[in-house]
Structure 1
């Protein structure tokens, strides 16, 4: 953009994309429901560009009732048909069913596992955002050993549309890793936010092992 601010090059000049980059991307997210929503939307992105999903995000939120897993987990044929008829979202039967199955899995994890869904995600970076120091966008990887391990665990648990590339994009978006280039004004801001984002349960575990 022509505002004189140095930022990552990937948003280009699209105002919606720039706003997403400046306000959301790379901000550590620990909320269980928000993590579910982002994982679902990244799954819908498979084979598409993120800006396509971003432009439809509000439609997705309305169609999926605010991405409340408790509601989505109960979706049946009627709700699936309603979603398939909604021109404002990506009308993929496989991805819609994956979102429903993911909600059911989310509920089970939240109910039965200490730390719930956030712990399942954040344990893969030991509960603390990883701060990278890329100088150019070409240095940023499409996947890493961390995303491969997280993708493997998600698949083993029954989640779909969560390959290592999708999972790494998810990790970047929710601030598990800070992949803003160092010349971007958001790199330092997200690094500062990371200092307050340590996952308590993992911090306690780390303290016990010292």
Structure 2
């Protein structure tokens, strides 16, 4: 199973669609399984709408998955979405270091947390505000929940899992970044999801 990390645009004016199109351009010619984590769930949702014939499956990992026509911001419950929208407008999209340590990096060791903070790259406003393109897709889908997540609480993850649809789910006892806290557990979950799909896939994208 081959795994590929999708490239991301570097322009400060990049739109959500630019992120999706950059990933689509880098895909192999065969169908792929999308694995979207956190805000990457919005990008994966856009990819599935723009190129449904290229997608063999979609696995969300503690991910934001808006309903059809929604955005990252609009997918949040009120009043969170109003507070988030205002905060990004006035303070930008990079959260304070204290918030990263308390929420995003909860469950991680100090050295990893420091690296996460130093490597954190804020995305453009449009990444969070742009709405998903029209379109439908029918590939199998699943959701991996991180049950001790302080960044995206389990109740909110259940809401996004319902938006995504599909019956396949797994739980990991981790915070928001299971790929750093329990990489073996996440790898097992991804493999288990891929194993449920028809045998014409190439692996995660």
Which TM-score band applies after superposition, normalised by the shorter structure? under 0.3
Larger radius of gyration: 1
TM-score normalised by L of structure 2? 0.28
- By percentage of residues, which structure has more strand? 2
- By percentage of residues, which structure has more helix? 1
TM-score normalised by L of structure 1? 0.27
